[in-house]
Amino acid sequence: MTATEVTILDKTFVPYITEQEIADRVADMAAQINKDYEGRKPLLIAILNGSFIFAADLFRGLHIDAGISFVKLASYLGTSSTGKVVTAIGMDANITDRHIIIVEDIIDTGKTLHEFLPEIYGRNPASVSITTFLSKPSALQYDVKARYTAFDIENKFVVGYGLDYNGLGRNLPCLYILKDRSE
Ligand code: XMP
Ligand code: MG
């Protein structure tokens, strides 16, 4: 085992994307959103728990008038999707006629957003876009498209920067990926 690996419960992870790479990409995304939403007052809706660190970093990079609200959805258990999306904390913000930017940690199969988007559209927002820290294009099973994606990654389980394995690893400052048994 090398010094940079981390073990969480029964699994070992190796470094995948550095803190600096993350900071640079998130700053770029914030700059793009500042440009695209200039003169508007978007409302970010961050999906808890996984997106809280990404949402905080992205939000601090916005210089336009923007608000933020949170919902808590869950569809994962361990390292695989349970296939069922549960709303643990619902939406309390009035989003009618607002420009909504959904903030997600990762689009994996796309099921979470596929199930959540009708709830958003049902409340008549002015517009909806999706920003995600990560996307696994080869795992996508639903027609969900992010307007802003920090990183496309391979179809393996990742932790860190807000993402967890069974509740642990969210505080790792960079992104780690599951180590192959053969490595
Ligand atoms: P779906 O399949 O609905 O998955 O797009 C989205 C949610 O599942 C969680 N997820 C992960 N969490 N490492 C994690 O820590 C991963 O590799 C991973 N893949 C999916 C995540 O909460 C996301 O919102
Ligand atoms: Mg999540």
Segment 140-176, tens digit of pLDDT: 999 999 999 999 999 999 999 999 999 999 999 999 9
Contact 116, 143 (CB under 8 A): no
> If you take atom 13 of ligand 1, which residue's CA is the nearest one?
158
Confidence band for 91, pLDDT divided at 50, 70 and 90: confident
- Does any ligand 1 atom lie closer than 6 A to the CB of residue 32? no
ipTM: 0.94
- What contacts 176, CB < 8 A, 6 or more positions away? 6, 13, 14, 15, 16, 158, 159, 160, 169
Q: Is the pLDDT of residue 120 over 70?
A: yes
Q: Is residue 89 part of a domain?
A: yes
74 CA from centroid of ligand 1 (Å): 9
Q: Is residue 169 part of a domain?
A: no
Mean pLDDT score of the chain, rounded to an integer? 93
Integer Cα distance of 161 and 138 in angstroms: 22
Query: What was the pLDDT predicted at 2?
Result: 60
| CATH number for position 56 | 3.40.50.2020
Query: What was the pLDDT predicted at 76?
Result: 63
135 CA from centroid of ligand 2 (Å): 12
Domain membership of residue 98 as a residue range = 21-153
Residue 14 β-bridge partners: 177
The ligand placed nearest to the CA atom of residue 134 is 1
- Does any ligand 1 atom lie closer than 6 A to the CB of residue 110? yes
> If you take atom 20 of ligand 1, which residue's CA is the nearest one?
108
Q: Is residue 57 part of a domain?
A: yes
Q: Is residue 12 part of a domain?
A: no
Given the CA of residue 110, which atom of ligand 1 is nearest to it? Answer: 5
Query: What was the pLDDT predicted at 142?
Result: 95
Which residues are placed with Cβ below 5 angstroms of ligand 2, an ion?
A: 50, 105
> If you take atom 4 of ligand 1, which residue's CA is the nearest one?
108
Percent of the chain past pLDDT 90, that is, above it, reads 85
Which tens digit of pLDDT belongs to each residue from 10-34? 999 999 999 999 999 999 999 999 9
Q: Is the pLDDT of residue 78 over 70?
A: no
Q: Is residue 120 part of a domain?
A: yes
Q: Is residue 48 part of a domain?
A: yes
The ligand placed nearest to the CA atom of residue 107 is 1
Q: Is residue 94 part of a domain?
A: yes
Q: Is the pLDDT of residue 110 over 60?
A: yes
Asked if 108 is an active-site residue, the reply is: yes
Percent of the chain past pLDDT 70, that is, above it, reads 94
- Does any ligand 1 atom lie closer than 6 A to the CB of residue 115? no
Domain count, the chain: 1
The ligand placed nearest to the CA atom of residue 106 is 1
Query: What was the pLDDT predicted at 175?
Result: 98
Mean predicted confidence (pLDDT) in 100-113: 96
Q: Is residue 11 part of a domain?
A: no
